[in-house]
Amino acid sequence: MEGIIVEIRIEGNRRVSDDTIRSYLTSKVGERYYPQKVTQDIKNIYARGFFSDVRVEGEQTERGVILIYHVVEKPLVKSVKFTGNDKITDEDIQKVITVKEHQVLNMTDVKETEKAILEVYQKQGFYLAEVTHEIEETADGQVKCNFQDSGEPAGVGQASYIRGK
């Protein structure tokens, strides 16, 4: 493909506006088409963290080049729940988590939250605790993050002291 970009379309977005996505692009209407700029555009869109997939289609027309950016948005976190945490409070967990309701799902945050919850258990002496997560998709395209924990204290079951004579 070659020529001047005559149109840029954005498809697949629901929450992030076309104008916002266009602001990430180095390719502009009225400028010459360069494949390197489109590659940079894809990187720029991914770097924002809102999208799980980005593809670009180009159409060569008599007027010039039409670029179509197809994006798939990451889901929003609808809820964050904790189960099995009878040894520590939800308030203690809330202080350390990075996964928040109404934010874009980020799997790095999910792993960091697991680790942070585990550290809370360990600070309270529950060294054998385990923390896992489950991501549940909802009908409206959002997700529920459920963290399951089991805190078991590490200690000595029975100790005997024998005094020598």
**Co-location of 144 and 82 in the same domain:** yes
**Co-location of 59 and 27 in the same domain:** yes
Q: Which of 19, 51, 73 is the last residue of a domain?
A: 73
The residue range of the domain holding 48 is 5-73
Burial 83-108 (b: 16+ CB within 10 A, else e): eebebbeeebbeeebebeeeebbbee
- Would residue 3 be called left, alpha or beta, if left means φ above 0 and alpha means ψ between -120 and 50 degrees? left
161: in domain: no
User: Which residues partner with 108 through β-bridges?
Assistant: none
pLDDT tens string 38-89:
999 999 999 999 999 999 999 999 999 999 999 999 999 999 999 988 888 8
Give the CATH number, domain containing residue 135.
3.10.20.310
Phi/psi for 41 (5° steps) reads: -60, -45
Number of domains into which the chain is organized: 2
Do 80 and 101 contact (CB within 8 A), yes or no?
Answer: yes
Asked whether residue 104 carries a pLDDT value surpassing 80, the answer given is yes
**Co-location of 53 and 97 in the same domain:** no
Q: Which of 40, 73, 106 is the last residue of a domain?
A: 73
**Co-location of 58 and 87 in the same domain:** no
109: in domain: yes
162: in domain: no
User: Which residues partner with 65 through β-bridges?
Assistant: 5, 60
Structure confidence at residue 150 (pLDDT): 78
**Co-location of 59 and 117 in the same domain:** no
164: in domain: no
Q: Residue 5 in 3-state DSSP?
A: strand
pLDDT tens string 24-38:
999 999 999 999 999
160: in domain: no
Q: Which of 73, 89, 115 is the last residue of a domain?
A: 73
- Its pTM stands at 0.71
Alpha helices by DSSP H, listed for the chain, are 18-23, 35-47, 90-94, 107-123
